Chain A
Amino acid sequence: AQKITQTQPGMFVQEKEAVTLDCTYDTSDPSYGLFWYKQPSSGEMIFLIYQGSYDQQNATEGRYSLNFQKARKSANLVISASQLGDSAMYFCAMSDNNNDMRFGAGTRLTVKP
């Protein structure tokens, strides 16, 4: 069974600094995808970044990058140059060949001015 773990219920970061949000996962399926979603206070789920289990390079999307360490089964999200608008809940999720998606408990990020 899939399991996604986010051990940081809350994180604080100073505006313009970088922050790393942790995510570890567990699956027996060799083919899987890892995702990060942002959920602002308005409630919508916003896709940020994807990493495939067979991808050789870490994924990057603008200020977001995914630090993928396959042997450790970790997929940490790095946000560079934090902005006030980055304050939100961040969910790590995984999809395997069952084609559903399981989410971690989330990390609430607060960016301080």
Chain B
Amino acid sequence: EPEVTQTPSHQVTQMGQEVILRCVPISNHLYFYWYRQILGQKVEFLVSFYNNEISEKSEIFDDQFSVERPDGSNFTLKIRSTKLEDSAMYFCASSAVLAGKPRSYNEQFFGPGTRLTVL
């Protein structure tokens, strides 16, 4: 069964450093997402991406964050200058465009997550 993959599984970085989190969505999916989950807290939406551009972003997704689909398979999240409060689990997700289904039906398949630790 196809699945979303993420690398690395755990990233440790120094405050102020740039990190790139990588995701490979399911191959025929067209919508891509990033979420984060601070330890013990709820999952928070960061950004959605469709047709090579950001379709929606939350207030968390400020100028320090960027996303890119550099080729036909990868979807990346870059944090330019990490802060201590960026420490969290980052989930990538993807969903398909489903014929005959309303746009709000978008079962999102989640990757296993990347645990980012900022020291």
Chain A contacts to B: CB under 8 angstroms: 29, 31-33, 35, 37, 43-47, 50, 52-54, 91, 93, 95-106
Contacts and interface: CB of A to CB of B under 8 A. Distances in A.
Interface of B: 31, 33, 35, 41-45, 48, 50, 55-56, 58, 89, 91, 93, 102-110, 112-113, 115
Interface of B is mostly: strand
Given A47-B107, A106-B42, A100 B56 contact: yes
A95 B104 contact: yes
A97 B102 CA distance: 8
Nearest to A6: B42
B33 A52 contact: no
Given A103-B43, A103-B44, A47 B103 contact: no
Given A91-B43, A99-B48, A33 B106 contact: yes
Contacts of B106: 33, 95, 99, 101
Nearest to A43: B113
A50 B33 CA distance: 18
B112 A99 contact: no
B103 A99 contact: yes
A44 B112 CA distance: 5
Contact of A104 (B42, B103, B104, B107): B42
20 contacts: A29-B104, A31-B102, A33-B106, A45-B113, A50-B105, A93-B43, A95-B104, A97-B102, A97-B103, A99-B55, A99-B103, A99-B104, A100-B45, A100-B55, A100-B58, A101-B35, A101-B93, A101-B106, A103-B44, A105-B41
B110 A103 contact: no
A45 B37 CA distance: 11
A103 B31 CA distance: 18
B104 A45 contact: no
Nearest to B105: A33
A102 to B, nearest CB: 6
